[in-house]
Amino acid sequence: MVKYRRLKKLETDLGWAGEKARQKAAGIIEQAKNEALKLLQSVNLDSQKYKENLESSVKLLTANEIDEYKKVITNITKDVEKGVISDSQEFRKMFSQAWSQLQKQTEEQLISDVQEVRKKLADYEKTQKAEIKEKIGRILEGAALELLGQSIDTQTDEKLVTEVVDKVLEKYAQPMA
């Protein structure tokens, strides 16, 4: 019975030690659980801080990128403006040259046309004078025959015709420019 009591005591001691070990294990588990929760909370806090830092970095990066894009667009706009101004100045120069050349050609053509018209008018005037001289000569010849009964010589006839034509032209014809 001594053995039995010892066994019982040992069993009781073991039960008590097992209970104590279970309690200790439960405490360790609880402590591990609390530590894990603290760690998770810390990770969540760190995660939240990281998220906030990331968001602010993204905002800063986005703001920087927007500023950079604005600079690039401004530079592109300035380059385009320079190109347009350069092109418009070149166009104006080409247009001015073309216009000057066109004016010169038009002036030359106009001068040529005026000279041609003057020549045609001079030729026409010459032709008309010759026809008028001839008609007046015939009229004078006919009148001399009727009035004088004789014809007048060619030199006198020509002189009279020329005088009459010149007087008629002075009176009725306008001077040619």
Tell me the C-alpha distance between 92 and 98, whole Å: 10
* pTM for this entry: 0.40
Structure tokens at 119: 């020549």
pLDDT of amino acid 173:
65
Predicted confidence band of residue 177 (pLDDT cuts 50, 70, 90):
very low
Residue extents of the structural domains in the chain? 2-172
Per-residue tokens: 32? 């591990």
Beta carbons of 150 and 144 less than 8 angstroms apart: yes
Residue pLDDT, tens place only, 162-171: 777 777 777 7
CA distances from 17 to 8, 28, 32 (A): 13, 16, 21
> Residue 148 in contact with residue 97, Cβ under 8 Å?
no
At 72-131, the pLDDT tens digits run 888 888 887 887 788 778 888 888 898 899 899 989 999 998 999 999 999 998 898 888
Average pLDDT over residues 58-70: 75
Using an 8 Å Cβ cutoff, are 169 and 129 in contact?
yes
Model pLDDT for residues 2-56, shown as the tens digit of each residue: 666 666 666 666 666 667 767 877 888 888 888 878 877 877 776 777 777 777 7
